[in-house]
Structures are given as structure tokens and as C-alpha cells.
Amino acid sequence: MLSERVIAMSQDSKRLLAILTAQPVVPVVAVANAAEGVALARALVAGGIGSIEGTMRTPAALEAIRAIVAEVPEMVCGAGTILTPKQFEQAEAAGAEFIVSPGATVEILDAARSSDVPLLPGSATPSEMMAMLQEGYEVLKFFPAEQVGGAAFLKSIAPVIPQLKFCPTGGISMKNVQDYLGLPNVLCVGGSWLAPKDKVAAGDWDAITALAHEAAGLKDAH
């Protein structure tokens, strides 16, 4: 019989599936302030992208997440680069609808266990993937994707651990995205190329909408 913990995590996996399969690319972004985050979210939505990972890499991250949740309700806003339970709690309090961590620690898993917000934990090796599966996680972040074996690695994992589905992130762009989206165990990819730093800084939202539209179009190819 499955433990209550595993059953709960399976429900979280279902919620993550709904978020991650809604578009082929989840933008991974870092913003300087809340207004910039809101404008960026609106530009991405205009291009057909419906979820975003706001990373905790800038002082404005929590404020931006809070503003996006409040002002761009059509965007599903998650929090990324969560490294500690405190950050998990802060992101949850800010309204993040999913949490992304580059790896998984006992402390992060404990925080997720006591939260209603689903966690997308990172993994990079078969042992980490097996450990996450035993914890009840069926949907994982594969990070840093290109640096630890890329699409070829995930292709080799598919028949070995077929229960797992992935959102690869790290070193992915329009040049290699189809290598990942063509794999049976890839739901979507995480990518920062939809929000280039120079375009965001310049407020060139039309350019970002165009990039989002191009990425959203990958859905049909997938």
C-alpha cells in the first residue's frame, strides 16, 4: 500500500503535469523589479506562454512573483532556484503556484511535504532520480541539462525509469530544443532565451512576445 506521503506526492505530480504540459517551454526569468516582472509576464502571455518560473536570483524576486500573481492572473507563476526551506516558505507566501529547486535535500522535501504548493525537484543522476521516485515524485527537473549529458542522457534513462517525466533546463535554446521535445519522457523544457536580459532591460516587450510566439509554436511540432 502506498504511504500517505507518496499518495500526496502523486497528486502533486498531477498538478505539475497540468502546468508543464500547457506549453512546450517554461521561461526561466530573473527580474530587477516587480513592474518589470509584470510587463514581462504580459508579453509572454501575449505570445501564447502561460506559465513562468521567476527565479530567486534577484532581491526583487518575491515582490515580482507577488505582483505577477495579482496583476497577470492568466499567467501561472512559479518560483525557481529555491535552495532552502525558508525560501520555499517565502515563495509560497508570495503566491507562487509551483516551486522549482535545482536539486533536492531532505529539508526541501520536508518543506514540500507540509505545503500545498507542488515541488519540481531537480535531479541529474540515476541515483537521484531513483531517490525521487521512491519519495513519490514522478515529475522532475533535469538540471543542468546540457552539462550533464543532455538529450542523449534522457533518452537512455527513458526505458530504465519509464515512470519519470522531465522538464530539462540548462543550456537549452531554439537550436537544440527539439532534441528534447522529441523524447517520450520530456514534458517541456525550461529556457531563459525567451527573456533575453538586453530585451528585458530595454523594455522591448514586442520582441519578447515574438520569441514567446515562436516557442509556443513548438507545441505543434511536439
State the catalytic residues.
53, 141
Q: Are 71 and 101 in contact (CB under 8 A)?
A: no
**Residue 110 CB neighbour total at 10 angstroms:** 12
The residue assigned the cell 498531477 is 14
For residue 144, cis peptide bond before it (omega within 30 degrees of 0): yes
Q: Which residues of 24-61 are buried (b: 16+ CB within 10 A; e: fewer)?
A: bbbbbbbbeebebbbbbbbbbbebebebbbbbbebebb
190: enclosing H helix or E strand = strand 189-191
Q: Are 180 and 167 in contact (CB under 8 A)?
A: no
What cell numbers appear for 134 in the block? Answer: 521512491
Alpha carbon of 154 to those of 14, 121, 161, 165: distances in Å?
21, 16, 10, 10
